[in-house]
Amino acid sequence: MDQRPIIQIATVSNIYFDQRMIRIASTLQDFGYEINVFFRPYIKFGKQTAKEGEFNFKTNPINILPHQGVLFYLIYNFALLLKLFKVKTDFYYAVDSDTLLALTILSKLKNKPLIYDAHEYFAEVPELNGKLLKKKIWHFITQWGVNQSSLCITVSESLAKSLQKRYKKSFKVLRNLPHRNHIHNIEKEDIPTVIYQGALNKGRGLELLIKAMTRLKHMQCWIIGEGDLSETLRSLKYELKSDNVKFWGVLSPDELKLLTPKCFVGFNLLDDESLSYHDSLSNKYFDYMHAGIPSISSFLPEYVSLNNAFNCGICIDNNENIFIETIESWIKYPEKYTYFQNNAIIACQTLCWENESQNIGKWLKNIQ
């Protein structure tokens, strides 16, 4: 029996909460590769709910301090270099630019193919706005890694075009689609519910959402996740006396699959304040779709394109009044809501991981 080709995957995220990398690693293992994921078992918020041995691939935690800043990235990449230098591999797979330094060096030293998977436009995230030196450093590291890579992947057509323009190399698109979900008859909440799931970070429109809920007294809002704005948003809720807003904290993917279908609409507004956000295609857009609920998204290229094609949600300006008017029109005219809801249920049969995942297998065969 031929030995499986080995892929060493490196990520800064906690693999137990990274649905995209769980799907990719599991799929590649099923496609006949031996997958080892090196990851950081750090949980800033919530608790780890997955158990060791849950996956069909191997996981290798790297515990280091500190947990953020320049020193973290340097130490983490150095740790990756030490650990991966000793192990046999056929491919290196860098998840985002923060693991690219170590894996580019290893790819050159070992003369093995490098795969670069850009989940975002790393050097153009909102957190780096105004930090010109840090941007230059990340652009330099990314350019070096892209030049070395045999395959570059990203999450959306818009992001692929921006990355290709900047780094002068073609990027393949592998969207972060859920597995096909056979939606069961999960009973809706008695009170129409707006749901937001994801990081509670700058630029996600969450202040607008909490303010809007003060005028949507006949509804409730569930905010699921944690992030840099966790404390600020909770303070805003109490300041505005938005008693119809509930913070759930961090939930597992399985818990989300039970809660999301109970809701009325998914919230997906993003500030167009960075190239990374402008080109984004968030996980939550598809999670809402697979839960059979319409979503309200910003006028950004990927969401406009998908809503035009599948009519499973609507794009609006990031405006509190328009957001409220849209929701109230769906309550007043339920046939409008049902139209988007039915289209979401239909769309998820096509926009699913079972279809999307076939691409990565074909790409890898071309670089063997």
Both tokens of residue 198?
């994801």
Would you say residue 65 lies in a domain?
Answer: yes
Domain co-membership, 171 together with 200: no
Domains in the chain, number: 2
Domain co-membership, 203 together with 109: no
Q: Tokens 């989940």 belong to which residue? A: 119
Both tokens of residue 34?
């031996």
Domain co-membership, 171 together with 199: no
pLDDT surpasses 70 at 44: no
Q: Is 109 exposed, middle or buried (0-12, 13-18, 19+ CB in 10 A)?
A: exposed
Provide the angle, in degrees to the nearest 10, between the axes of the packed helices 334-347 and 283-290.
Answer: 100
Would you say residue 184 lies in a domain?
Answer: no
Domain co-membership, 24 together with 172: yes
- Tell me which of 43-52, 73-82, 114-123, 322-331 is least confident: 43-52
Would you say residue 237 lies in a domain?
Answer: yes
pLDDT surpasses 70 at 235: yes
Closest CA to 202 of 271, 280, 116: 271
Most confident of 45-49, 124-128, 208-212: 208-212
- Cβ atoms 289, 314 nearer than 8 A: no
pLDDT in tens, 141-169: 999 999 999 999 999 999 999 999 999 99
Who's near 264: CB < 8 A, 6+ residues apart? 188, 189, 192, 193, 194, 219, 293, 327, 330, 337
Q: Band of the pLDDT at 128, cuts 50, 70, 90?
A: confident
- Tell me which of 45-54, 240-249, 290-299 is least confident: 45-54
Would you say residue 361 lies in a domain?
Answer: yes
Domain co-membership, 160 together with 46: yes
Residue 54 or residue 96, greater confidence: 96
Domain co-membership, 19 together with 164: yes
- Residue 35: phi and psi, rounded to 5, are -110, 130
Domain co-membership, 207 together with 339: yes
Mean pLDDT of the chain: 91
Q: What is the pLDDT of residue 1?
A: 46
Cis peptide, bond prior to residue 66, ω within 30 of zero: yes
Closest CA to 323 of 235, 223, 231, 216: 216
CATH number (domain holding residue 62): 3.40.50.2000
Residues shown for the chain: 368
Both tokens of residue 145?
């890694």
Give this prediction's pTM.
0.90
Would you say residue 182 lies in a domain?
Answer: no
- Residue 226 belongs to what domain range? 193-347
Both tokens of residue 228?
């840099």
Q: What is the pLDDT of residue 50?
A: 52
Distances (CA, A) of 159 to 80, 294, 356: 27, 24, 17
